[in-house]
């Protein structure tokens, strides 16, 4: 990573990083290489999976909101598909 702020550098000098299309191709190839069906996964589903796991393990919607870059909590709640039952279960798990 020395000398560059990008994880994957582009092939051409005018582009310092790979394109989102190239990144999607790499992800598709990674899934193929480990025996998973690439059409069932993608860059966006991986993003959603990570924050969904964080939410399930911590119950911290604010942390997930920050990670996603959402300005409104409503957006985060809709993105995760949080139901009122989820909120009640988290509330019941916390003792005061």
39 contacts 31 by C-beta, under 8 angstroms: no
- Residue range 2-57, pLDDT digits in tens: 556 766 677 766 667 777 888 888 888 988 999 988 888 877 777 788 888 998 89
54 contacts 67 by C-beta, under 8 angstroms: yes
pLDDT at 1 over 70: no
């Amino acid at each position: 990573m020395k000398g560059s702020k990008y994880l994957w550098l582009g092939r051409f000098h005018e582009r310092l990083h790979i394109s989102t299309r190239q990144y999607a191709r790499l992800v598709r190839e990674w899934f193929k290489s480990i025996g998973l069906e690439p059409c069932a996964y993608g860059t966006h589903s991986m993003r959603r999976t990570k924050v969904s796991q964080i939410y399930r393990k911590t119950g911290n919607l604010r942390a997930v909101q920050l990670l996603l870059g959402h300005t409104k909590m409503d957006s985060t709640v809709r993105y995760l598909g949080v139901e009122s039952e989820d909120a009640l279960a988290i509330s019941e798990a916390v003792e005061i």
